[in-house]
Structure 1
Amino acid sequence: MVPRRSAHMTIMVAAAQKAAKRLIRDFNEVEHLQVSVKGPSDFVSQADVRSEQTLIEELERARPGYAFLGEEGGARGSDNWAWRWVIDPLDGTTNFLHAIPNWAISIALEKRLADGGSEVVAGLVFAPALDEIYWAEKGGGAYLNDKRLRVSARRDWSACLFATGIPFAKTAPKNRLAFARVLGALMPETAGVRRVGAASLDLAWTAAGRYDAYWELGTHAWDVMAGVLLVREAGGYATDPAGHEHVSGDVVAGNPHIQPRLRELVAEALEGPRG
């Protein structure tokens, strides 16, 4: 049975597919892209900017008045928004610029709640070079194209595959040290640790059961918001190291058997050595 998509999700898919057409053309001619440097290991290309412009145009046409939060353009629209699109037009830019197909478009839809907080009601991670559309709506499950997703069921760490994001030189020393502590603890106990280079895909692949768990320190909302919903709707847990569900910054996600212990390990690593 083909899952039913809401009007919001239909809009999100259409916008991502339109942005992807130009990205695929650029990806096939990646050596000709003009690239400027934003900072250490943090590149922005013409492809990023064009993709974000397309996403904003398409989403704004379909839902005028919704606010935006994006990696390239920052925040736009009313501060008193009722609905907000959170977009990463090209997650995995460095992969893209090196002709590695592990990159994605990420779109999340955030709804303002009566108490002033917010919740993510829809999330999309589209990997055009892999022809994979991951999507989820709150309470409706998570899907890869039209296939229902479930997180893995593994319990034994020795059989588990973990994913992470390796800190860059500009990362705060505290986070670099915490990452090293977690990695050092995991490596002797697990089947392996992978670094794909795109947080949205790490979370999508965790939702799909390809990874058993994922952690990363110092992410942004546009990196993880859609992927966190995917993991939760696929039956997994996704929190910060303290267990809070409103995730941005430090993220720990995984199946229900693995995530709690990994979360505690990351929390302890951030606290630093005792004594």
Structure 2
Amino acid sequence: MHPLLNIATLAARSAGGNIMHHLDRIDQLNIEQKGKNDYVSEVDKEAENTIIQTIRKYYPDHHILAEESGKLTLKNKKSDIEWIIDPLDGTTNFLHQFPQFCVSIAVREKGKLQHAAIFDPVRDEMFSATRGGGAFLNNRRLRISQQKTLTNSLLATGFPYHDFSYIDSYMASLKEFMLTTAGVRRAGSAALDLAYVACGRVDGFWEFNLKQWDMAAGALLIQEAGGLVTDFKGGENYLQSGNILAANPKLYKEMAQVISRTVPVELRN
């Protein structure tokens, strides 16, 4: 395992331990509302601090982009490496003890994703990848599903929950996918959804308006498992646009056609 990935998995497991420690005492937690249907708990902050401390112990000069702390760029320190952290993806699920949440960590070097770790502490599942080295689940090599058409495929997505400006376009895409597939799942953790695409539990994924820390690790997992990840225009700007489409190459073409029919051009940017 690459040293950077080793530290990513170490940090993810440590944060997962923090999260599980609090799962049975949700009623005792301090919870803040950052915006409409957007919550942060002391567990998010504790888990993020654990990850940052682990990174700083081994790589004190690296930059960090974290959901709760923002961009931590060290003054007078030059580094090509940035860690992208979501300490608890699926906070709302966690706060309801709905067992679908994870820790997501990605490492970007010179602007390109190189390493990824997504840890599901409930199932003790560690998804990991290094660019050019493949994707793994608890040391078992992953391959994306080989579903060739939307018919019989199972897709994952995320519903709008705080920004409803694009809800009509989203509902149009959801309607078409519902009518042409075996089903659509909305489990509430984009990072885990992407990991599930990488391991073939779902065949494809699309969502609007995500953040970099929601997507970075999962995107690399899918690519290393043989899949395609793009924005809604078919480009590589998904980390900036927040719009992401992922599947195996054959299914991707059909999903992209649905997006092109249902999402206006101005919303694909």
Show the counterpart of 1:253.
246
2:222 corresponds to which of 209, 216, 231? 231
Per-residue CA shift, 1:122-179, capped at 9, x if unaligned?
01110101110000000000000111101101113221000000012x3152x21111
1:7 corresponds to which of 3, 6, 15? 3
Amino acid at match of 1:160: S
Show the counterpart of 1:162.
155
Show the counterpart of 1:267.
260
Map of 1:207-222 to 2, 5 A cutoff? 207-222=198-213
2:104 corresponds to which of 96, 103, 106? 106
Is it true that 1:177 corresponds to 2:168 in the alignment?
yes
Is it true that 1:70 corresponds to 2:87 in the alignment?
no
Show the counterpart of 1:88.
86
Show the counterpart of 1:115.
none
Amino acid at match of 1:265: V
TM-score (norm 2): 0.94
1:36 corresponds to which of 25, 32, 36? 32
Q: Is the 8 Å Cα contact of residues 225 and 247 (structure 1) preserved in structure 2?
A: no
State the SS of the aligned residue for 1:180.
Answer: helix
State the SS of the aligned residue for 2:234.
Answer: coil
Is it true that 1:55 corresponds to 2:46 in the alignment?
no
Q: Distance in 2 between matches of 1:267 and 1:67?
A: 37
TM-score (norm 1): 0.92
Show the counterpart of 2:113.
120
Map of 1:188-203 to 2, 5 A cutoff? 188-203=179-194
Q: Distance in 1 between matches of 2:227 and 2:105?
A: 20
Q: Distance in 2 between matches of 1:49 and 1:213?
A: 31
Question: How many equivalent residue pairs?
Answer: 262
State the SS of the aligned residue for 2:250.
Answer: coil
Q: Is the 8 Å Cα contact of residues 161 and 193 (structure 1) preserved in structure 2?
A: yes
Amino acid at match of 1:42: D
1:263 to partner: Cα distance:
2.0
State the SS of the aligned residue for 2:246.
Answer: strand
1:264 to partner: Cα distance:
2.9
1:8 to partner: Cα distance:
0.8
1:39 to partner: Cα distance:
1.1
Show the counterpart of 2:177.
186
Is it true that 1:150 corresponds to 2:143 in the alignment?
yes
Q: Distance in 2 between matches of 1:105 and 1:246?
A: 23
1:247 to partner: Cα distance:
2.1
Q: Is the 8 Å Cα contact of residues 169 and 263 (structure 2) preserved in structure 1?
A: yes
Amino acid at match of 1:45: S
Amino acid at match of 2:100: N
Q: Distance in 2 between matches of 1:9 and 1:81?
A: 17
Q: Distance in 2 between matches of 1:224 and 1:267?
A: 21
Q: Is the 8 Å Cα contact of residues 173 and 263 (structure 2) preserved in structure 1?
A: no
Per-residue CA shift, 1:198-248, capped at 9, x if unaligned?
110000000000110000000010000000000000000010011112422
1:36 to partner: Cα distance:
1.4
Q: Is the 8 Å Cα contact of residues 167 and 176 (structure 1) preserved in structure 2?
A: yes
Q: Is the 8 Å Cα contact of residues 27 and 99 (structure 1) preserved in structure 2?
A: yes
Q: Is the 8 Å Cα contact of residues 139 and 233 (structure 1) preserved in structure 2?
A: yes
Amino acid at match of 2:198: A
Per-residue CA shift, 1:32-75, capped at 9, x if unaligned?
21211111111000000001111000011111110010110100
